[in-house]
Amino acid sequence: MADTERYPGAPDDSAEAAALAALLGRCGQGDRAAFRRLYDLESKRLYGLALRITRQPALAADAVHDALLQAWERAALFDPGRGSVAAWLTGLVRYRAIDAMRKRAREVTGIDLPDEADETPGALERLSASAAGEALRRCLSTLEQHQRRVIVLAFVDGLSHAELAVRLESPLGTVKSWIRRGLQALKACLEA
């Protein structure tokens, strides 16, 4: 990361951020009790993030474990000038969860798969074929391109507001406004 880059993530409450920074500083000095406290404070939030990415509890737990182990090993290298501890931990977990998904996709499962692809339509295809799906498609087409894109990325790909802001290189508040206005326009269109 360049010296001017910041850790991704939303800003923290300053008192909470200071407490996490103090704990991480103690972790950098080898304080196991501080690491345990840091783990207790952050593991649930980080697990929720990893689960949202992996959609598999075991992979999410592994991603959090690996990221927190990495945080313990690299605590002394943390630079508070680049962002908060919570944002740094979020980035570690996010990258570990994405890596776990990529690794999982490359693994050979050992299960004999049928020679022909499953032609059964998924939920998204069934919705698209229905009257409600047609109305949704029609209403989505009336939205401005940036609104349509953030709504699809948020609801189909499951990206959070912060992840959308990073991907689209747009301010978080702007992304939230696009989603809110887009959803209001969709609601009005679908009710018409």
Q: Do the beta carbons of residue 76 and residue 32 sit within 8 Å? A: no
pTM, full prediction:
0.51
Q: Do the beta carbons of residue 159 and residue 94 sit within 8 Å? A: no
State the Cα–Cα distance between residues 85 and 22, nearest whole angstrom: 9
Q: Where are the domains of the chain?
A: 14-106, 129-191
Written as six digits, the tokens of 64 are 């959090």
For the domain spanning 129-191, the CATH number is 1.10.10.10
| CATH topology for the 14-106 domain | Rna Polymerase Sigma Factor; Chain: A (1.10.1740)
> What count of Cα atoms within 13 Å lies in the side-chain half-sphere of residue 108?
2
Nearest to 170 by CA among 150, 140, 152, 190: 150
Residues 6+ apart with CB under 8 A from 164: 150, 153, 154, 170, 175, 179
How confident is the prediction along the chain (192 residues), in pLDDT tens digits per residue? 444 444 444 444 578 888 999 999 999 999 999 999 999 999 999 999 898 888 889 889 999 999 999 999 999 888 888 888 988 999 899 989 888 887 776 664 444 444 444 444 544 455 555 666 777 788 888 888 888 888 888 876 677 888 888 888 889 888 899 989 988 998 898 888
